[in-house]
Structure 1
Amino acid sequence: MKKLFFIAIALVFSFSGIGQTKAAVSFKGEIANRNTDSISILNKNNRKEIKKILVGKDGFFKDSFAVEEGFYMLFDGKEYTELFLKNGYDLNLTMDAQKFDESIVYSGKGALENNFLAQNTITEQKYDYDALLASNEEVFMKLVKEKKAADFLKLDNQKLDPVFVSLQKKSIEMAMDSGTEYYMEGLETKKLNGVMSPSFDYDNYNGGKTKLEEFKGKYVYIDVWATWCGPCIGEIPSLKKVEEKYHDKNIAFVSISIDKLKDIEKWKSMVKGKELGGVQLFSDNDWNSQFVKDFHITGIPRFILIDPNGKIVKADAARPSSPGLEAELDALLK
C-alpha cells in the first residue's frame, strides 16, 4: 500500500479550470475484455461523473463532450486511469481491461500527454516507496529531491502541451510536499515506540465501558477503524484469521471505531452483520478522541501493538493482511 501512497496523494490534487474556445473532446476507442457496458469520465477532485459513455458488446465506444482543460479520471467499472483533456482533442484509446494499465495506448490528438500519464502510472507502481519511507531523514530528503528532479526532467524532455507540463509539475510538487509531511508524521509516531501507551475508556459493544488497563498482562493489538473506511473493511477477513489463529494466546484484539456519534447505530449494525470478533469499542469523540490524537492518527486503518506492561511495541503496527504480522506475533508470543 505504501508503494502507492505518493500516487494516491497525487490523485488528490488536480488543477483544472482553463476555459476552451473549441467545442469538445472527441473520445473513441476499443476495450478488450470490458468490465462493464460503459466507462465514466470523472472529475479528478471529487470523482463526480462528467460523462458516461456506452461501450458496445464488441468493446467499441465513441462520444464527444465539452471539458475544461485539465486532469480527469477514466473509470471502467473496476479500475481508474488518469486523463488530460482539452476541447479540440481527438483521442483514441485501445485497452485490455484485464491487463488495464499495462495495455493502455492512445493515438490521435492528445495522445502524447495521455500516453505520458499511462506510462507514468506504471513507473510509479514500480518505484520502491517502502524503502523511501523506511529510510532515515537525511536519505529520505535526498531521495525525494532526486525523484522530483527526475520527474521534472521527464516533462522537460517531451514535446508536451505547456499547460499539461505546468499542471503536472504542480501535482508532483504537492505530492512530494504531502508525502514529506506524511513521512515526518511517521517519525513522530515512531518516537512513541517503547513508551507507556495513552489509555482509553470507551463504550463496549457488549455494554459498559472498557479501559486499556483491563488488558494488563496481555499483548494488545488495536485496530482503529470506521464503518465508512473501505480499506478498514478490507482488512476484516484477515483480522478474523489472525484472531482465530491466536485466540488461545496471550493477546487481546481490540477494535476502536472513530465513527461520529450520529453513526453509532450503523457501527452496531456492522459489528453484528459482519460478526466482528475481539473487543469492539466506540471512541468518545471520533477523530478528536484523545487516544487518537496522542497516537498522531491522521489516516485509517491504523494498527497499534502494546505489550503486557502497557508499553507501545509499535505505534504503527503491521496490518492483518501483512505477511510480517504473524511472524512478529509468533516471536512475541512463543
Structure 2
Amino acid sequence: MKKLLAFMLMASAAMYAQADKVKFTASIKNPNSDSLVIKTQTFKKVLKASKKGAFADTFAVPTDGFYTLTDGKEYATLFLKNGYNLTMDMDAAQFDETLAFKGAGEKENNFIAKLNISVENLTEGQANLSAEEQTKNINAKMDEFATLLKDPALDKNFVSNMSPQITGLKQQLAMMAAQSAAAAKMKGKPSAPFSYENHKGGTTTLAELKGKYVYIDVWATWCGPCRQEIPYLQKVEEHFHGKNIAFVSISVDVAKDHDKWKKFVTDKALGGIQLFADKDWKSDFIQFYGINSIPRFILIDPKGNVVEADAKRPSDPALTAQLESLLK
C-alpha cells in the first residue's frame, strides 16, 4: 500500500526553497528500464543509464521536500534537499525490500523506505487478525516511527512534515483494519443484490449473473487510482475471456456526472459489464459492503456468496493466480 504513503506525503508536505544542487547516484540490479524519473507536479528530471548501467546526475530541485522516483514500473518517495549527495542501491526485482540509501540525506530516505515497508506489512500481512489486534500492531509500529523522528540528525523540515503524516497514517491504517475485519466476516455469506443501469442499455442484476464468478470493480471517473487499475483490469479480462467469470464495473459517480460516465466508458472502450449505481455512495449495494474509498474490488461465487469482500486489485498478480485456481 505504498500508494497510500506516497499520496499522503506528496499531498501534504510543505516545501522550502534552497540553493545549491542535489548529487544523485543510483546502482540498480535487474533494472526495469534505462531511465529513472524524479518528479513532482511541477518538476521533472530524467536520469539515463550509462553504458555500465549506472545512473548519476547533479541537478537543482526547486524546493526541499518529497519527490516521486519511478523507473516506469515501480516507484518510491524521496526526500530531496539541495546540497544532498545521495546514493541509492536496490534490486528492481525486489524493489521495496532492497531500497537503501547512503550519503547526505540517507537518514531521511531510509526512514521513508522503512516506513513504506512497514505500511505494506501492516496492510497485507494481518488479514487473519481481528480489528483490535491489527490496530494494536498499527499503533505500536507507528509509535516506533514517531520515536525515530526524534533523532536530532534528521532534517527539521523533514520532521515537521513527516510527524503529522505518521499520525494520519495511524488513523488511516486503523480505518482500513476495521474495513478488512468487517470484510473478512462476509466470506461465504450471500452478497447484497443490485439492479443498475447498464451502459449498453437496460439494467443488469446480480441475480442474472448467478452460475458465474463475478469480479466487481467499484470506481468513479474522477478517481485517479481507479483509472490506474483499468489497463490491468483489461488484461485480466482478456486473460479470462470465455471462462466462467463476469467482470462488472460499478460507477459511483453522482447523478450529474452520468453523461461524463457514459462518455468515459465509450471513449476508453471499457470492457466487461459497465454499470451506474443508482444512488452513488448511498446505493444499497455500496452501503452493504461498507465502501468508503475506491477503487474497491469484490469477488462473488457462482451461488451469489462472497468469496472476498475486499478482493485483490487487477494490478496484483495474485488475483490472476487466485482466479485461475477457482476457474480450473
1:42 aligns with 2:39: yes
1:281 aligns with 2:274: yes
Which one has a bigger Cα radius of gyration? 1
Shift of 1:177: 0.8
1:143 aligns with 2:137: yes
DSSP-derived class of the 1:229 partner: helix
Distance in 2, matches of 1:185 and 1:18, equals: 33
Shift of 1:305: 0.9
DSSP-derived class of the 1:73 partner: strand
Distance in 2, matches of 1:130 and 1:39, equals: 28
The C-alpha deviation readout for 1:83-121, integer Å capped at 9, x for no partner, is 22234x2323244674555254332x3233223334544
Following superposition of structure 1 onto structure 2, how do residues 119-198 of structure 1 map, counting pairs within 5 Å?
Answer: 119-122=114-117, 127=121, 129-156=123-150, 159-190=153-184, 194-195=189-190, 197-198=192-193
1:71 paired residue number = 66
Structure 2, unaligned runs of 5 or more? none
DSSP-derived class of the 2:112 partner: helix
The answer to whether the 8 Å contact 1:196/1:311 transfers is yes
Which of residues 74, 80, 86 is equivalent to 2:75?
80
Shift of 1:66: 4.3
Distance in 1, matches of 2:164 and 2:102, equals: 24
The C-alpha deviation readout for 1:221-262, integer Å capped at 9, x for no partner, is 14225586222431343344445443xxxxx62413427532
Please give the TM-score of this superposition, normalised by the length of structure 2. 0.73
Which of residues 13, 17, 28 is equivalent to 2:14?
17
The C-alpha deviation readout for 1:256-288, integer Å capped at 9, x for no partner, is 34275324244245557xxx46xx232145844
2:87 paired residue number = 93
The answer to whether the 8 Å contact 1:35/1:97 transfers is no
The answer to whether the 8 Å contact 2:191/2:300 transfers is no
Shift of 1:202: 1.9
2:265 paired residue number = 267
Following superposition of structure 1 onto structure 2, how do residues 96-107 of structure 1 map, counting pairs within 5 Å?
Answer: 98=92, 100-101=95-96, 102=98, 104-107=100-103
Q: 1:24 to 1:209 in 2, by over 3 A?
A: same
The answer to whether the 8 Å contact 2:90/2:99 transfers is yes
Distance in 1, matches of 2:133 and 2:99, equals: 35
Amino acid at match of 2:22: S
Distance in 1, matches of 2:279 and 2:20, equals: 45
Q: 1:286 to 1:325 in 2, by over 3 A?
A: farther
Aligned residues: 304
Distance in 1, matches of 2:162 and 2:71, equals: 23
Which of residues 224, 229, 232 is equivalent to 1:231?
229
Distance in 2, matches of 1:295 and 1:257, equals: 13
DSSP-derived class of the 1:202 partner: strand
Amino acid at match of 2:265: W
RMSD: 3.7
Please give the TM-score of this superposition, normalised by the length of structure 1. 0.72
Distance in 2, matches of 1:35 and 1:314, equals: 32
The C-alpha deviation readout for 1:28-49, integer Å capped at 9, x for no partner, is 3255576566543323xxxx14
Q: 1:57 to 1:242 in 2, by over 3 A?
A: same
Structure 1, unaligned runs of 5 or more? 247-251
